[in-house]
């Protein structure tokens, strides 16, 4: 004899030879069995990944899906502001084989590496030795010898020195500054296809955006790193950057990455904006 609740995959089954009412629980369908197996396997895989410092998430909840979507866009010009020694430029050249990449970097030591990279990619890589902001001229720049990618126009905070000890040492140098409007004033109209701008400028994102008002009208996508913790004195926070992007005609496209230190709130995030008018 079998008794089950309507719609339930679990039933009470009478065992042959047992007295009436002497029943056991059995599964009433393969779906529940497979679901149970999947959950067990998932927990085991998640546990292994966690021990290695990783987390596995469904593809439709993963920011990598947004990056994958971006790779399918007809992007033909990439402006890498804060290109450092060119690691991201190498990726741009590989992922967008039809694109021209402009690498902008103020640090003389990092720019040497960009010059070497340009020698191997003469037709597709353009390099520019500038800091980018909202004015033209010569400015003081804080170089971090122990971690050059965190170097900035802004001084680091005591919070940064505590949680990121590699930023403690700062060497002030002078570099040339330009704006996006000035740098691309002569080539803006000749850019074919969609334009992507990447900002990695360590706290001065709002100034770069304000200094590129005309050029950004030609830009379809803008990726920017935004500090979510007080890493630099006078840095642009998310609200400031978002307001500047909205004024420039962009809308929030999504979050590409969010980075934490152990046991802390997010340190920074990489965010994508999309030009609503293009």
Check residue 31 and give its pLDDT.
Answer: 64
Asked if residue 24 has pLDDT above 90, the reply is no
Specify whether the CB–CB gap between 199 and 223 falls below 8 A.
yes
Average pLDDT over residues 161-182: 96
Average pLDDT over residues 229-249: 96
Check residue 27 and give its pLDDT.
Answer: 47
C-alpha to C-alpha distances, 242 to 44, 57, 187, nearest whole angstrom? 40, 27, 27
Cβ neighbours for 51, distance < 8 A, ≥ 6 positions apart: none
Average pLDDT over residues 50-72: 80
Is this model's pTM higher than 0.75 or not? Answer: yes
Cβ neighbours for 157, distance < 8 A, ≥ 6 positions apart: 230, 231, 232, 233
More confidently predicted of 245 and 9: 245
Residue 204: DSSP 8-state = -
Specify whether the CB–CB gap between 101 and 90 falls below 8 A.
no
Q: Cα–Cα–Cα angle for 218, 222, 223, nearest 5°?
A: 165
The CATH class given to the 62-275 domain equals alpha beta
Asked if residue 232 has pLDDT above 80, the reply is yes
Asked if residue 17 has pLDDT above 60, the reply is no
**Strand (E) or helix (H) holding 3:** strand 2-4
Asked if residue 112 has pLDDT above 60, the reply is yes
Per-residue confidence at 30, pLDDT binned at 50, 70, 90? Answer: low
Per-residue confidence at 137, pLDDT binned at 50, 70, 90? Answer: very high
The full set of domain ranges for the chain reads 2-51, 62-275
Specify whether the CB–CB gap between 62 and 84 falls below 8 A.
no
Asked if residue 18 has pLDDT above 50, the reply is no
| CA pair distance 50, 208, nearest whole angstrom | 38
pLDDT tens profile 186-207: 988 889 999 999 999 999 999 9
**218-232 b/e with 16+ CB inside 10 Å = b?**
bbbbbbbbbbebebb
Per-residue confidence at 122, pLDDT binned at 50, 70, 90? Answer: confident
């Amino acid at each position: 004899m079998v008794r089950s609740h309507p719609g339930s995959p679990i039933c009470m089954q009478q065992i042959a030879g047992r007295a009436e009412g002497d029943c056991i629980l059995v599964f009433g369908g393969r779906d529940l069995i497979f679901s149970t197996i999947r959950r067990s396997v998932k927990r085991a895989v998640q546990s292994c990944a966690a021990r290695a410092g990783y987390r596995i998430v469904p593809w439709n909840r993963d920011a990598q899906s947004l990056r994958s979507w971006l790779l399918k866009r007809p992007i033909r010009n990439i402006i890498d502001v804060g290109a450092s020694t060119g690691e991201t430029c190498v990726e741009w050249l590989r992922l967008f084989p039809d694109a021209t990449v402009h690498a902008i970097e103020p640090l003389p030591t990092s720019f040497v590496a960009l010059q070497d990279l340009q020698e191997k990619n003469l037709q597709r890589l353009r390099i520019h030795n500038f800091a980018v902001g909202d004015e033209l001229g010569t400015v003081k720049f804080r170089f971090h010898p122990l971690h050059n990618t965190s170097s900035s126009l802004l001084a680091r905070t005591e919070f940064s020195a505590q949680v990121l000890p590699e930023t403690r040492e700062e060497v002030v140098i002078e570099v040339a500054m330009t704006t996006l409007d000035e740098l691309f004033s002569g080539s803006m109209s000749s850019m074919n296809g969609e334009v992507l701008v990447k900002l990695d400028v360590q706290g001065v994102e709002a100034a770069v955006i304000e200094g590129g008002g005309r050029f950004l009208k030609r830009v379809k996508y803008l990726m920017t790193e935004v500090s979510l913790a007080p890493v630099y004195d006078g840095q642009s926070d998310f609200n400031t950057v978002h307001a500047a992007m909205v004024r420039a005609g962009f809308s929030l496209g999504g979050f590409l990455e969010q980075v934490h230190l152990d046991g802390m709130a997010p340190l920074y995030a990489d965010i994508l904006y999309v030009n609503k008018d293009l």
